[in-house]
Copies of this chain bind each other. A is one copy, B any other.
Amino acid sequence: MTDTGTLPTATTTTSTRRLRTGQLRTGIAADRDSGSVMSADELAGDLHGVAERRLRRVDQRYTSGRRAIVELLVSARHPVSISDIAEHLPDLPRSSAYRHLTDLQAAGLIRRVAASDEFTRFELAEDLTEHHHHLLCVNCGKVTDVTPPAGFEHQVAGAVSDLAAAQGFQPQSHRLDILGLCADCHER
């Protein structure tokens, strides 16, 4: 089972998902340290600034290693596995990679993604990108991002709310994974 593609070749993903650079102002406002002073211009579009802020909020630094991971996730445009990281950041020691992922996740910058049946994948947190779902190829393991129409997403939210309420369950997020064969494996 091969990995999701050759990073950071974006051609394996034709997702319409984009970084929310134009919308980060709102997100960053939530990241503002109480007391810090920074102009809105400096804040806008500053993903790494957000990263640093969130890490400092939990008494951590935005080190070069952590930054390298974030940059890889940005350029990848789809969920990234540990082996992807090892491949594209060969100088990053394994234990550091794992630790960085854990730290970045704890700081709310990235999230874990369930793959078809494979090892862990990570991607940027949704509030830094946009809500989307995944196509999972059961043959080669490729993961493709897809963004559903707003109307559909509204329907999902309603159903999620109902289903959860019936069980006294407090929903925090949902994921819709579509399993099947990608274009490459389908043609064979």
- Which are the 6 A-B pairs with shortest beta-carbon distances? A168-B183, A171-B180, A172-B180, A170-B181, A114-B114, A170-B186
Give 1 or 0 for each of A164-177: 1 = CB within 8 Å of chain B CB. Answer: 10111111111111
Within 8 A of B (CB), among A134-160: 135, 137-138, 144, 146, 148-149, 152, 155-156, 159-160
* Of the residues B138, B148, B159, B177, contact of A152 by C-beta under 8 Å: B159
Contact call A164/B177, Cβ cutoff below 8 A: no
Contact call B169/A182, Cβ cutoff below 8 A: yes
Known: A171-B180, A173-B180. 18 other contacts (CB 8 A): A112-B117, A114-B117, A135-B167, A135-B171, A148-B159, A156-B176, A167-B183, A168-B182, A168-B183, A168-B186, A169-B178, A169-B180, A169-B183, A170-B180, A171-B179, A172-B180, A174-B177, A175-B176
